[in-house]
């Protein structure tokens, strides 16, 4: 698969990392203090080996949230009735942002399939206003993001939610509250840290995907969650385990994971997207 973004972040110095945007000839640099993956790597002084998606830059958007403005990236399709996808990032207090590599790749995967996509920063992250609210406020942020996306695209008939780690937990809660959501992707859901018992019953079929070597969201807890969901009627929960992958799907595991997402979504949207 082309365009997989596996090397956006080049760490340099104590607790800092550089995020590259745009074409290699015109890099702009954003500095952040912390990453959800805390391991520090030496600064090589060289440009990372990037494979940039062959797409036009997406508009930066600021939209109203329940606790102030929220910052996002809106990536529309040319067709007015294209399906919609909201992508949710990992834990705000552990460096999670909308520019996380898993989130970024999920975003572009949905767009290449034919979705109009929105990813955004939860409250208190980047230029989004507010403060971390232990999941309650972040769920409200996600609902506001979905409202905003639907307002921009009133003709859309299908909508999905995808989340990574903490974002997977928020996404599943959003699924319970918004009946218009017709599918979900849950990447590395932290079932060992958060209660997923609210999924009784789960209102939609979807894909749960995790790495076999995940030390953050323990695989056995993910398996227990999947087993309980698969016992429910009227839905189909697909579970994929990426052998050897950690929580962040480093290296070639990222492409494998994204490939599974791509195949799943395309299969379930046959005849709806290009």
Task: Please name each of the domains of the chain with its CATH number.
Answer: 59-268 (3.40.50.1820)
The predicted-structure confidence for 14-70, as pLDDT tens digits, reads as follows 333 333 333 333 333 333 333 344 333 333 333 334 444 455 566 899 999 999 999
Residues 84 and 156: beta-carbon distance below 8 Å: yes
The predicted-structure confidence for 76-105, as pLDDT tens digits, reads as follows 999 989 999 999 999 999 999 999 999 999
Tokens of 99: 């520019």
d(CA 113, CA 118): 14
Single pTM value for the model: 0.80
Percent residues over pLDDT 90 in the chain: 76
Residues 188 and 211: beta-carbon distance below 8 Å: yes
Read off the pLDDT of each residue in 202-227 and give the average, rounded to a whole number: 98
| Helix-, strand-, coil-residue percentages of the chain, each rounded to 5 | 30, 25, 50
Q: Which residues pair with 32 in a beta bridge?
A: 17
Radius of gyration for the alpha carbons in the chain, expressed in angstroms and rounded? 18
Q: Which residues pair with 183 in a beta bridge?
A: 160
């Amino acid at each position: 698969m082309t365009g997989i973004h596996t090397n956006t972040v080049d760490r340099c110095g104590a607790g800092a990392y550089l995020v590259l945007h745009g074409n290699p000839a015109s890099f702009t640099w954003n500095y952040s203090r912390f990453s959800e993956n805390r391991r520090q790597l030496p600064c090589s002084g060289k440009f990372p080996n990037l494979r940039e998606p062959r797409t036009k830059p997406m508009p930066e958007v600021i939209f109203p949230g329940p606790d102030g403005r929220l910052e996002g990236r809106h990536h529309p399709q040319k067709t007015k009735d294209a399906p919609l996808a909201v992508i949710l990032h990992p834990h705000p207090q552990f460096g999670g942002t909308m520019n996380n590599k898993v989130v970024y790749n999920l975003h572009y995967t949905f767009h290449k399939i034919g979705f109009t996509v929105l990813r955004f920063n939860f409250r208190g992250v980047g230029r989004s206003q507010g403060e971390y609210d232990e999941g309650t406020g972040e769920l409200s942020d996600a609902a506001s993001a979905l409202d905003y996306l639907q307002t921009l695209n009133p003709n859309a008939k299908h909508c999905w939610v995808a989340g990574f780690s903490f974002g997977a937990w928020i996404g599943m809660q959003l699924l319970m509250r918004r009946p218009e959501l017709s599918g979900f992707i849950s990447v590395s859901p932290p079932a060992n840290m958060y209660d997923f018992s609210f999924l009784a019953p789960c209102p939609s079929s979807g894909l749960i995907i995790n790495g076999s070597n995940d030390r953050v969201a323990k695989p056995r807890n993910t398996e227990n969650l999947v087993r309980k969901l698969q016992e429910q009627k009227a839905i189909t929960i697909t579970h994929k385990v990426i052998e050897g992958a950690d929580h962040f799907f480093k290296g070639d595991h990222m492409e494998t994971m994204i490939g599974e997402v791509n195949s799943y979504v395309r299969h379930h949207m046959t005849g709806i997207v290009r």
